[in-house]
Amino acid sequence: MVTLKGSSIYLRALEPEDLEFVYSIENDENIWEVSNTITPYSKFLIRQYLENAHQDIYEAKQLRLAICKNDDLTPIGLIDLFDFDIKNKRAGVGIVIQNEIDRNSGFGKEALSLVISYAFRHLQLHQLYANIGTENSASLSLFTTFGFEKIGVKKDWNFTGDTFHDEALFQLIKKINTNYFQS
């Protein structure tokens, strides 16, 4: 069994009991900017999504995991592998920590470390990518800590409020014999 456990947090599959948590994240307008969402989700749709969360990444082409503190079952965030492309051995990665009090505490760093290790070791991916708003300094710092390199900027890519914002594309290509687990 693959263990996705770090020193402070662990990653687990979504459960039906996570309905309220996922609902609150998907409907938090403060997070919409980083998730490219512009409409709320109903509990009905999220319940359907959770009912299909049993599909593996090869079938669903995505994997969403709950980020939980080691001493608690309650999730504090989500981390996703999306656009899973087995032929080209790549996937996108995104992360959100729900409450500001849990941000900048190392939980996101540990979760990203676990997912990078999982993606390269167990899924045998060659690369991961992330789309990050150029004004999102916390995410820029987090991803570059793990060696993600900016490979381009999409100008005026996202419209938020009344302004267009640039979005950078970051890429991490697997290097042979590299230990991606950093705590």
Domains of the chain with CATH codes = 9-173 (3.40.630.30)
Read off the pLDDT of residues 69-86 as tens digits, 9 standing for 90 and up: 998 888 999 999 999 999
pTM for the full model? Answer: 0.88
Calculate what percentage of the chain has a pLDDT beyond 70. 91
pLDDT of residue 178: 58
Q: What gap in Å lies between CA 43 and CA 58, rounded to an integer? A: 26
Calculate what percentage of the chain has a pLDDT beyond 90. 62
pLDDT of residue 34: 61
Q: Quick one: tokens of 183?
A: 């705590």
